[in-house]
Amino acid sequence: MRSDPTFWILARASGLTAYALLTATVLIGLTAKARVVKPAAAVGVHRFVALLALGMLGLHGLSLLLDRTVHLGPAALVVPGLSPYRPAAVALGVVALELAALLVLSFPLRRRIGITAWRRLHRLAYVAFVAATVHGLAAGTDAARPWVFALYLSSVAAVTFATAARALSPSIQARERST
């Protein structure tokens, strides 16, 4: 008797969707100060997309728990290195999830912790993005598919470009120093 692949398919789809949403969140955060759209609107969209990414990460984890292909216990979703399947690569996914959750939780604490500390904390978004990228490439069973590899490659290229553009933009640098 064959096992039902529903949760395995859902885990793969939700993982890739979470990665796309994480990429969008990072890009929105990088471009929010560029004043392409009103800053308040950009912040609202940034928060919303970040929450969607977290929800999709939750679905990814739940699907892996319910799937019978990879036998993961609940602790493996929150403690890096406990996964029997590609432990290092999955550990990076756990770290990315925890950093993403920390960053989302920091939104309402922005004024309380101070804008400077909040911005420094948000630099961890790069760590989360890199960890998620390596996790997907090393643990994802679809990473070798051309369209999935293109997703990772284009995401890294877009984040790299947006980071460089933000770092080289004198007007954005001046605004960041003044706030």
CB 63 within 8 A of CB 10: yes
pLDDT digits (tens, 9 = 90+) for 66-81: 988 878 889 999 999 9
Span 99-154, pLDDT tens digits: 999 999 998 988 999 989 998 999 999 999 999 999 999 999 899 999 999 999 99
- Torsional class of 35: left (φ above 0), alpha (ψ -120 to 50), beta (otherwise): left
DSSP state of 144: T
Q: Using an 8 Å Cβ cutoff, are 61 and 97 in contact?
A: yes
Q: What percent of the chain has pLDDT over 70?
A: 90
Whether the model clears a pTM of 0.75, i.e. scores above it, the answer is yes
CA-based diameter of the chain, in Å? 65
**Separation between Cα atoms, residue 38 and residue 114, nearest integer Å:** 22
pLDDT of the residue at 1: 39
